[in-house]
Amino acid sequence: MNKKFETYNYFDKSGTEVIALELLEGPFSGTIFSFGKVEFPDPDEPILSFEYTIHEGHIHDDDKEVFRNCLGDILVEILEESIKDKTTVFKGGIDE
């Protein structure tokens, strides 16, 4: 089975350690990125909102939407696995 990405500790240009992912296959192979804030902005809609930082690699403007969709698929996969493994930590909740 081929892995789509590898997770490892990465030091960005400022020397800050982040948990980064490197894409191992597909058109964005070799791109290293990390996720930032992740949220479900509307509790009534199953839409995931997330931020990300590209540490190595370049995404052309024409490919940015495809790249973001690829990252969204990876994030959903990570969340599903961590919920199954009971390793996900939720914080915040719904403000009323």
Integer Cα distance of 77 and 44 in angstroms: 21
pLDDT (average), residues 62-66: 96
pLDDT for res 45: 85
Q: What are phi and psi of 14, to 5 degrees?
A: -85, -5
pLDDT digits (tens, 9 = 90+) for 7-47: 777 877 788 888 899 998 889 999 999 999 988 888 788 88
Please report which confidence band the pLDDT of residue 93 belongs to, taking 50, 70 and 90 as the band edges. low
Integer Cα distance of 48 and 39 in angstroms: 6
pLDDT for res 31: 93
List of E strands, 24-96: 32-39, 49-56
pTM: 0.78
Integer Cα distance of 54 and 32 in angstroms: 6
pLDDT for res 89: 67
Sign of CA dihedral 13, 9, 24, 49: negative
Integer Cα distance of 87 and 19 in angstroms: 16
pLDDT for res 63: 96
